[in-house]
């Protein structure tokens, strides 16, 4: 896949009303808990080719140049483009076929007009059973390639939270819905920013 910048080179049509744009952006940041004055120094646990994918607040231009993503017209903040740009990544790195099944991943993230990433969510569809050899292979792959921070007993716990200074990474492993066309499991991953007290 080719890497596509989600920041775009579009000219804002709201230039004649900066106060409205600023109010909208502040409202979104407040909802998400993104503090522009905070130092988000801890990179996320999610790996990309042996390194953390990103650090909250950093510019999308600092992402690995081989990491592929595109504008997501169906994202959470699609109505607020270009103030906020939603991006989708189906990079091949996050999908793999194993001897006992397959893993297909998708990442969703949002950035403001300055390119600062303030929202990150991912989901992996695991087309395999998490028992015996199959379960060991799948979990070993998840913990060694994607999430070094996951504890050894995550398969049994199915829920895990890793707390950082300004955000928490949340993991949830659960069976695919009965009406899903793919049996197996799903892994949800999200970065939840810590909101200031009183807000």
pLDDT in tens, 154-173: 999 999 999 999 999 999 99
My answer on whether omega of the bond before 108 falls inside 30° of 0, hence cis, is no
Q: How many domains does the chain have?
A: 1
- What residues make up the domain containing 71? 39-193
pLDDT bucket at 181, cuts 50 / 70 / 90 = low
Cα Rg of the chain, angstroms? 18
pLDDT at 94 (0 to 100): 97
Sign of CA dihedral 74, 77, 82, 86: negative
- Assess if residue 165 is contained within a domain: yes
pLDDT bucket at 13, cuts 50 / 70 / 90 = very low
pTM to 2 decimal places: 0.83
- Assess if residue 137 is contained within a domain: yes
- Single out the residue of 80, 74, 46, 81 nearest to residue 171, CA to CA: 46
Query: Please, which residues bridge with residue 160 across strands?
Result: 171
- Assess if residue 2 is contained within a domain: no
- Assess if residue 31 is contained within a domain: no
pLDDT at 56 (0 to 100): 97
Question: What are the tens digits of pLDDT across the range 129-163?
Answer: 888 777 888 898 899 999 999 999 999 999 999 99
- Assess if residue 107 is contained within a domain: yes
- Assess if residue 60 is contained within a domain: yes
- Assess if residue 69 is contained within a domain: yes
pLDDT at 187 (0 to 100): 97
Alpha helices in the chain (DSSP H): 18-32, 132-141, 154-157
- Assess if residue 48 is contained within a domain: yes
């Amino acid at each position: 896949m080719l890497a596509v910048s989600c920041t775009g080179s579009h000219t804002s049509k709201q230039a004649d009303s900066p106060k409205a744009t600023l109010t909208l952006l502040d409202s979104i940041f407040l909802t998400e808990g993104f503090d522009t004055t905070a130092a988000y120094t801890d990179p996320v646990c999610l790996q990309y080719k042996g390194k953390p994918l990103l650090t909250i607040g950093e510019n999308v231009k600092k992402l690995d140049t081989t990491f592929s993503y595109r504008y997501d017209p169906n994202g959470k903040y699609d109505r607020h483009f270009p103030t906020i740009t939603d991006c989708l990544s189906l990079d091949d790195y996050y999908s793999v076929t194993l001897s006992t099944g397959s893993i297909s991943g998708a990442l969703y993230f949002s950035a403001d007009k300055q390119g600062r990433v303030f929202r990150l969510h991912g989901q992996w569809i695991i087309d395999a059973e998490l028992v015996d050899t199959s379960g060991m292979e799948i979990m070993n792959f998840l913990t060694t390639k994607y999430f070094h921070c996951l504890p050894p007993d995550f398969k049994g716990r199915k829920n895990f939270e890793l707390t950082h200074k300004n955000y928490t990474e949340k993991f949830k492993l659960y069976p695919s819905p009965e009406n899903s066309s793919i049996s197996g499991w799903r892994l949800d991953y999200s970065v939840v920013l810590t909101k200031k007290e009183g807000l």
